[in-house]
Each structure stands twice: as structure tokens, then as C-alpha cells.
Structure 1
Amino acid sequence: MAKAAPYFSTQTFAFLRALDANNSREWFLAHKPEYEQHVKLPFLRLIGDLDAPLKEISPHYVANPKPVGGSMFRIHRDTRFAADKTPYKPWAGASFYHQATRAVIRGGDADQGTMGRLDAPGFYLHIKPGDSFLGGGIWHPQPETLKRIRAYIVNNPASWKSATRSAAFKKAFGTLGGDSMKRVPLGYDPAHELIEDIKRKDYIASAALDDETLLAPDLPKRIIRQYQLASPLIDWLCGALDLDY
């Protein structure tokens, strides 16, 4: 039996480092074949290979390997409102989304605020030399979505603690990440045992991935193993938002 081929290589990291140092349209166009060969195509192959095992975690989640409109983010940055005007991202990312969001995602680029009307938790993968990570949860939800999550925490404290305080979850992800409010939201008891979670504006869990892991031929199994550990959080958030899991 032939040995499984790795998805990424040292050339993947070399390209992303070079792009970070030479972030211009002229440089990128001159090196676009390297991007296609060492970053985009292997990432799309990985995404395609993640779809079936991801559906074993939840049949409602999608890893879409379409080159346009799928899970992989565009390499182009949206610089319209950014102080940083460099045109390209020196990293690659993919969002594995709930199927209910498909109708409102435009362009498959969830990092550009394209989640439309419907918020849903998802799984994420980020590849950057020396700074790669994966995780899951919901990032920058809309105000109404945030209110529903907070109310669900208040009404279901035991299940929230079960989803985010287990030994396995804490070993894999530590504490939740993202932004939090400095003050207690209006209408909530400052003395509530979960007030720090109620103050959150994001509900995400993440874990670092070293470069050696990304070069492993069994990378999908390693990613899915981590997503299984994040699954209780995603499941709980789906329950808060009346989404199937």
C-alpha cells in the first residue's frame, strides 16, 4: 500500500513567509503558481478529505472544497476600512460551517463579515508558519445572537459548565478566547457564578498547531480529534440558537 502523501510541505511555509515579506500585487502575480501548488490546491484537498469525518461529528457541518464559495478563505484582504493596505493575507484559513448558514454566506469568506442574517457556530483552521491553530465556536455574533447565548447560559448553567469545564476540554483548549465586555451587560447579576462567560462577546476555543503537525500525512485525523473535543461547545451553542446538531 502506498504511503499517504502529506498535504503541506516546507514550500507551503516558505511561500507564506515570502508573501509576508513581499506583500504586493506584483510579487504575488509573479509567484501565483507557487501559491496554487503549495497552498491552495493542498488546502482544498485537505478540506475535501475532512468533510466525511466532520459529518461523523455532526451531519449538519460542511467542509466545502470548492475553489470559490467554499470553506477556504480568499487570499485577498479587504482593505477598504483597514489601516493596513497590504493586499494579501500571509496565511490560509478555512471555516467549516453549519449547513443552515449556506443560504446567507456570500463568497465563502466568513472572515469578511459575510455571515449575513444567520449566526451559527463553526469549526476553523488557520495555517501560518509558526502560528497555526484550529478551533471552534462563534466569533463576533450579532447582538441578538449574543443575547440568546447569554440567556441560555443563565438558564442552563450546568450544561454550559459541562460543555466548557471538562478535564478533556480544558486540556485541549484551556479557557475560552475572544473579546469580553469590561462591564456587566445590562440586566445581568454581577454576582452570577458565570458572569465572566456572560460578559463574553465571542465564544471560541482554540489550540495551537505546530508546523510539524501540519506536515503529517495523517493531518485530517489529528484535526478531527481536536474537533471532537470542541464538539460539546459547538453542540451547546447550536442548542442556544435552535440549530440542529
Structure 2
Amino acid sequence: MNFSLLYDFLCKLQKNNAKDWMDANRSEYHNVRDLYINWLDALNIKLAILDTNYYDTPGKKAINRINNNLLFHPNKPVYKDHFGAGLDQVSKQGDFYIHLGTNESFIGGGYWHPSSKTLKSIRQAIDYNGDEFKKILNKKSFQNMFGGLLDDNPLKTAPKGFSRDHRHIDLLRRRSFAVSVQLTKKEVIHPNFENRVIEIYKELLPFRRYLNQAVTV
């Protein structure tokens, strides 16, 4: 896919963020959206070959709506400044997320501010076998790619049910368990971008599988 078309459309949309403009340029939107969906379809097939536990997620299912939810966020613009998509998307689990936008582009995965029930399950898994999780987090290639967990304003004390001197208290105090790789526009429009995405997916896989297993067990 020519991702320059995606960025060009988003730039024009953000300068004209209104339904009237979108209605007049809907054919361009659908062209870019369809190209992106086709690219996601091809990527979906390649990721399924890499991972036997991969959950088939066609492009139309993976891609997020470009409309903002104005019912709950009435002060937001009508349209988002990015195209978002979640692959390997099992209900209520952390997917493999691709975010391509005018202000920010990144790839990530995990759980960002999950529900209290989900957070409790993750903490229980860490309590039971936090050594395995730390081994994943401390792996040199993982550190080089992601740098560590995203900052989430952790609790100042131990969560309910856990001791302050728990050997994994640094993880138990967290409210989120997510990582990401920031991308430049130059990286995204490069012909090698798809290979870069696959490289990130493979490095992220043990991290996501640990968390998803914690949530489903």
C-alpha cells in the first residue's frame, strides 16, 4: 500500500474536520480505507502463518471507526486524526494494535487501564508466576524495541490483598500493562514497513500471550 495516500487524506481531514467536508470527499475516504483494509487482510494472513494460536482478524473487523464517539465525548472533533486497527483480536483480550495518524503513529499491545476484573487477573498471574513475566520484560531484544512498560501512574502503595514487600510489588502496583513502538512517517511509507510490523509482532507475542492467558485462565 502507498501509505502516503493515507497520511495525505488524514492531513486534509484534520484541516476540514466536519461532516460536510467528509460527505464531499467520501469517495477518497473509501479509497484510502479500502486500500488499508486490503493491506490488513494480507498482513492478517502472514501473521496467522507465524502464530498457530493467532485469531483470524480480517481487515474489515480489524479497522476502527474513524468517527469519534460524540455521545460520550461531545468536545472531541467529529473525526479522529488516525486510522486504528487491532489484529489477533479476541474478545476482551489485548490485541495487536496499529495506529497511523497525523500527530502520532505507533504499534503496541497489552492492556491500557483495563477493567478492575482484568487488572485483578493480571495481578494474580504475576503473584503466581511473576518471574516468567519479568523474564519477558527484561529480554534484551524486548528492551531494545519497547524500552519497558508505558508509564501509567502506578499505585503509591500495594494493591488490596498484596504485601508491600512482595517480590514483584513494582509490577503489582501498576494500573496498566502495555508497550508500544513509536513510528515516524518516513518509516511507515518505507517499502519495508510491513516487515517492520511483523518484526514488532513477533517480539510482542510472548508479552501479549502471558497477559491474555492471565485474563482467560
Identity within the alignment, %: 27
TM-score by length of 1: 0.81
Amino acid aligned to 1:172: M
Q: How does 1:26-105 map to 2 (within 5 A)?
A: 26-38=20-32, 40-55=33-48, 56-66=50-60, 70-99=61-90, 101=91
Provide the C-alpha distance between the structure 1 equivalents of 2:99 and 2:215, rounded to a whole number of angstroms.
Answer: 25
2:122 maps to which of 136, 149, 152: 149
The answer (yes or no) to whether the contact 1:51–1:62 under 8 Å persists in 2 is: yes
Equivalent pairs, count: 215
Contact map agreement 2:47 2:54 (CA 8 A) in 1: no
| Counterpart code for 2:178 | I
8 Å Cα contact 2:62-2:89 kept in structure 1: no
Aligned to 1:120: 93
Check conservation: 2:57, 2:89, Cα contact below 8 A: no
**CA drift at 1:174:** 0.7
The whole-number CA distance in structure 2 between the counterparts of 1:176 and 1:29 is 40
Specify the code of the residue in structure 2 equivalent to 1:159.
E
Structure having the larger proportion of residues in helix: 2
Q: Is the 8 A contact 1:63 1:96 kept in 2?
A: yes
Q: 2: distance between equivalents of 1:235 and 1:58?
A: 12
Deviations 1:100-132 (A, max 9, x none): x2xxxxxxxxxxxxxxxxx21211000013520
Q: Which amino acid aligns with 1:44?
A: I
Question: Which string of whole-angstrom CA distances, capped at 9 and with x for unpartnered residues, describes residues 155-191 of structure 1?
Answer: 1121011111111101000111153443331122223
Determine which of 91, 108, 112 is the counterpart of 1:139: 112
Over the aligned positions, Cα root-mean-square deviation in angstroms equals 1.9
Normalised by the length of structure 2, the TM-score is: 0.90
Retained in 2: the 8 A contact 1:137–1:203?
A: yes
Q: Which runs of 5+ in 2 are unaligned?
A: none
